[in-house]
Structure 1
Amino acid sequence: MSASASPTVPLSILDLAPIGPGETPAQSYSNSVALAQTAERHGYGRVWYAEHHNMPTIASSATSVLIAHVAAHTSTIRLGAGGIMLPNHSPLTIAEQFGTLETLHPGRIDLGLGRAPGGDRAIFNALRRDPGASEQFPRDVMELQGYLTGESIVTGVSATPTPESAPPLFILGSSLFGAQLAAALGLPYAFASHFAPDALHEAVSLYRRDFKPSAQLEHPYVLAAANVFAADTAADATVQFEAARRRRVRGMIARNQAGVEYTDAQIDEFLTTAAGANLANMMRYTAVGTASEVSQFLGDFAQTAQADELIVAHGALSIADRLRSVELAAPTE
């Protein structure tokens, strides 16, 4: 890897805990352990897992449990939620879970928070939650923060265990709302540009402009997300990217057309349509190529996104290709 092309900001990983073609959830968890161990060896700062529900190809629904499992099989790398969808939970429950994680693995746990449900209205009903809970997100964040720091804003209620040092909170978002909230609360802001790129630059500018220092953070701190397909040859990386993109498009189409199967050629033809172009745009910030090509892309992306850190999702369908991508795109050798 060319040193001149390397990103000048820290690199971290968003592990989507995919259940690949022909794989079981148990294999997915083994893959996540292997990925975190590889990331730890190669100098990545953290690995995050996102809460999803009712998605048969994603195994991170019980996010805090997965974090605990991976933490037990690694030593130094930070692990966390990127993120917990707070409207799905009571703040006290999440404080107890992450207070436990931080107590078991001190100094290694992050807690990223989002206000999306991680599913549709049926998910809210199944979780026994009210869709209107999203409107309480700012207060819920402050309530959660109070529990974790031992300064509860709820009279007579505290979280046990309260860790000696609270895990840092991050606000996740793909719109201006998250940027405004992170700035107002003085928290780091992580933008989901790996699948929702459109508001990236406006949101980051707003966050940096309006940021107010807090006990957790003195200066604004931005994490921007990108997809990565790094391989030993550019041709191999392109094949991996195209296969992953087709699988994503198939999954989105299947939500409305269950039981309908499309060939690769049909998916590629769909991607040339206006509707297909909109789906393709979701992966606008994607690095595809050799180690030097990916590093150059990420360096340029960090600069244009005004990012203090990049969090990358290695999207190859096979675990062998994902691990190789992690190695090739690593910040250190």
Structure 2
Amino acid sequence: MRILGIETSCDETGIAIYDDQLGLLSHQLYSQVAVHADYGGVVPELASRDHVRKTIPLIKEALAAANCTKDDIDAIAFTAGPGLVGALLVGSCIGRSLAFAWDKPAIAVHHMEGHLLAPMLEENKPEFPFLALLVSGGHTLMVQVDNIGEYTVLGESIDDAAGEAFDKTAKLLGLDYPGGPRLAKMAENGVEGRFVFPRPMTNKPGLDFSFSGLKTAAAITIAKEGDDAQTQADIARAFQDAVIDTIAIKCKRALKQTGLKRLVVAGGVSANTSLREQLAILMKNNGGEAFYPRNEFCTDNGAMIAYAGMQRLKAGQFEPLAIKAKPRWPLETLVSTST
């Protein structure tokens, strides 16, 4: 079976075609970075308009790259949430409409389930159950994954997500949007230990995250000290070290709590090299293994939506004719594919 995946939850238009026997046949991605750069962040209305312009052309390109026609496609999967409601409606309307016109099943995919399952696109796939750390611009979640659709959220951010804190701190340092990767690059030249920021909520029980206060600490330090390039690099290093240490401490706590030995790390922040290095050490010390998607599948993409949609298709879980977008959609409300 072959499925067309459509991702339009925020500022990237992703289209992919996945075959359950041959794997990923094609994937196309258009990033809106240039559209939003002048504003220092995503402008929802502009994002929606760009998805309208790009989605259909990218579907045509993906079909051509996979040497497919609509007759070769068995179902259409699209991101229905969570995300920006206008952007979600573009993909949902196009995906559901194509499914109706082509007489194919339609599958609404949860964006975070797509990220969570993205490592399944790699040769080295994690087996169930595993612990999942989902870190992106909009979400920070710690999830126990017993099977597809069987999720227990163990912790989440109570304010800024990790990626959001990276971007906001980068902006305070005068870096262009998207700031997270630029801050990580700046941190490579920073001196370790010159500045030390708090590791939020690590002295309290539980697995929730909070990065807003850490961002404030960085803002105060930037205002007082950050007037030369080396000092800014040192602040960037201190901020990144604090975020990574906090995440590692929470992961260690979650592994002990669950007894799991496999850790999936996904979402845009999972591409951070320093984070991967520290979590690799953590898992080695705990006799376990960490799993990641390749860098191009860490950020939003159609491949992860196509894969997640395929699992729902095989379980016979389809969408009715009504078109719905869910800007808020708790992960734990999903139905298991084994029921």
TM-score by length of 1: 0.30
TM-score by length of 2: 0.30
Which structure has the highest strand share of the two?
2
